[in-house]
Amino acid sequence: MNAVTKPQTLPTAPQSLVQRLLGALGLLQDESRPPRMPWLAAVVGIALAGLLFGLYRWYQQVFSFSVGLDYFEQDFQTYWMNLLYAQGILITLIGLVGVPLLWFTRPAQIVMSPQRELSIYYAILAFMAVGSVILVAILGVYVEADAAWHQVTIRDTDFTPTHIGLFYFAIPLGAVGAILGFILIHTRMPYFSNRVSIPLALVVCAPVLIMPNLGLNEWGHTFFYAEELFAAPIHWGFVVLGWGLFGIGGFMVQILQRIRELTTLEPKPIGG
């Protein structure tokens, strides 16, 4: 009588710490199951962004009026210019390392199952929700604070506590993140390979396009326009940032169109 043999199962490779972490956040999902929205990753992203910008706002609150009123004081150089140099170097390094890394490690052929592609689009939508919260926080806290600061204090130089937080931290950090996301989507996603998403390109270009107006604004406030009014003509160019961000709507339409295609695919017949 022959012994009953148990079916052999192939050993699975142990997951790394990064893979386990991504799986716990919902960013790495089992392709045999229906994809789901990674809400935990979105909540963690909002919490980390809130912690980062909250600590930065606390730093401004503590050191702006005590050592941030006069650029020519040594304390300003210690507490504010060193901060500017550090964050400038860090953000530049993120861009200089991240852009080549994403570009030169791009796959020659993008092969992806519909389940995997759909889960990535869910992740993109989740992080777009995180980005919307961050944007509202920046506009409501940093931009308003910058205008209020210049209405009640003297603009001695282009480097002020609110400028260092807004123009030399929040906006450049968002611009670098948008550029990295642009490259990542166009080199890893089959729907956007060999093409350019014009709406997403407008979003990425928006922070860069306001740079000429930023220079005009600082030059104008220094030499001929002291009043800090939102409706001042030298502020008109800043609306380019808002107009560019409207492109996120077009990008969402592209994603939803692709999600519709992926969720209406007919299953292949067995043996086909």
Name the token pair of 121.
């689009």
Distance CA 50, CA 123 (A): 19
pLDDT tens for residues 204-255? 998 888 888 888 887 887 777 666 777 778 888 888 888 888 899 999 999 9
Contact predicate 49/130, CB 8 Å: yes
Mean predicted confidence (pLDDT) in 11-30: 67
Residue 4: pLDDT band (50, 70, 90) is: very low
Task: List the chain domain ranges.
Answer: 36-263
Residue 270: pLDDT band (50, 70, 90) is: low
| Averaged pLDDT score across all residues of the chain | 84
Mean predicted confidence (pLDDT) in 38-67: 91
User: Does residue 12 surpass a pLDDT of 60?
Assistant: no
What pLDDT score was predicted for residue 234? 81
Contact predicate 69/75, CB 8 Å: no
Name the token pair of 56.
């930065």
pLDDT tens for residues 80-91? 999 999 999 999
Amino acid at the residue 32:
S
Domain 36-263 has what CATH class?
A: mainly alpha
The CA angle 69-72-77, to the nearest 5 degrees, is 85
DSSP class of residue 238 equals G
> Nearest-CA neighbor of 161 among 178, 142, 186?
142
pLDDT tens for residues 152-171? 887 767 889 999 998 899 98
Distance CA 84, CA 86 (A): 6
Mean predicted confidence (pLDDT) in 174-187: 92
Lowest mean pLDDT among 3-12, 97-106, 183-192, 259-268: 3-12
> Nearest-CA neighbor of 191 among 253, 130, 244, 249?
253
Residue 2: pLDDT band (50, 70, 90) is: very low
**25 vs 69, higher pLDDT:** 69
Contact predicate 60/161, CB 8 Å: yes
Burial (CB count <10 Å: 0-12, 13-18, 19+), residue 94: middle
Mean predicted confidence (pLDDT) in 1-23: 56
Lowest mean pLDDT among 13-17, 41-45, 176-180: 13-17
